[in-house]
Every structure is written in C-alpha cells, then in structure tokens.
Amino acid sequence: MSLPPNYDPQNPERPADPVGEVPPAPPVPPEAASVPHAPSADPVAPGYAGPAGYATPPAPGYPPAEPTPGYQGAPATGYPAAPPAPGYAPAPSVPGRGLAIAGLICAFLVAPVGIILSIIALVKLNKSGGSKGIAIAGLIIGILVTIAWIIGIIITVTLAAGLLGNVIEMCSQLGPGVWDVNGVTYTCE
C-alpha cells in the first residue's frame, strides 16, 4: 500500500498541506480588533514601549507594527521630545551677509565693485544688527586694492611718457631715418 504524497504522519486523519502553501493566520476576534489598547504604567504590560532603541515584541495574535515612513515625532518611550541643545540650531539668515561675502571676494578681483557691495552690506548689517566684520574687511581691502591700481596706473603712465619723451628728444637731435644708438634702434620720421 502506498501513502498519498501529502500524508502527514503527525495527523493521519488529515492529509498534509500541499508543498508551498502557508496555512492561513488565525482569525482575530472582532472585539479585540476594534478596541485600542491603552498603554499601561506596568513595564511588563503588553502596551509598554520599552526603552528607546530596543524593539518590543508584538502582542500575541497581532502582527508587528510597521513604522510610518518619514515620521520623526516623539520617541516611542511616551515622553515628549527634548528641545534641541543650545548652540546646535542653525543660525538664522542675516540680511546682508551674502553681500558682505560677495564684496570681500570682489574686493580682490574687481575692487570698485567690491567696495560698492561691501558698503551696501554694511548698511544692511547695521540695520539688522548682524556682524559687520566681513563687510568692513571687504571695504578696506577694496579701497587698498583700488589705491594700488591707481598708483600703478600713474607709475605706468609716467614711465611711458618718459620713454616717449626720450624717443621724441632723440629723433629731434638725429633727424628722420633709422638710427642705432648704443644698441637701441630709433625710427624717426
């Protein structure tokens, strides 16, 4: 005599479940499904959440609760969330701070633009009560770089005029033509 392929030796009266099938979950009583459980003060009670960071086993007969995606509310301990520690909150945006940084950068690259941006930032930071250090640095550096450019232009023009004056004087003495004086070639017209 051969046994059927789904025969269960533990329960000879009932044939075993076919391979791959999962038995259905036991039914939940209707009164248990509709009544929410209130948390208890007893630490071993089923509604107790336990210490933070430790998972608590689900109540018998109930599926485990899944976390809500994106929810960042109070911790599961039942206590309200603690306020953020002082000094770790993001700094509020101060009007004029971005202009002060832009003015400082432009003071090195395009000094007159850096001066203008730093002055505007200084006025805005005065009104809002923000720190004016970056705006003042941009203003000072912009002024110094502008003065250096002006001095450089004056020196360049003076040297160019001196060289041009020297060429004009030599040509007036030598007359028209191409002349070689001490290794320097002069072309005079």
Is the pLDDT score of 48 beyond 90? no
Q: What is the dihedral of CA 80, 81, 85, 91, to 10 degrees?
A: -120
Asked if 181 and 173 count as a contact pair (C-beta separation under 8 A), the reply is no
Instruction: Say whether pLDDT at 77 is over 90.
Output: no
pLDDT score at 174: 84
Q: Higher confidence at residue 84 or residue 133?
A: 133
Query: What's the pLDDT band for 185 if we cut at 50, 70, 90?
Result: confident
Task: Specify the residue for token string 């432009």.
Answer: 106
Judge whether residue 146 has pLDDT over 80.
yes
The CA distance from 12 to 23, in Å, is: 18
Task: Say what the pLDDT of residue 187 is.
Answer: 84
Q: What is the mean pLDDT of the chain?
A: 77
The residues pairing with 184 across neighbouring beta strands, listed in sequence order, are 181
- How high is the pLDDT of residue 181? 84
- Angle, CA 97 vertex, CA 123 and CA 92 arms, to 5°: 115
Confidence (pTM): 0.46
Q: pLDDT tens for residues 25-35?
A: 667 666 655 55
Q: Residue 177 has what pLDDT?
A: 87
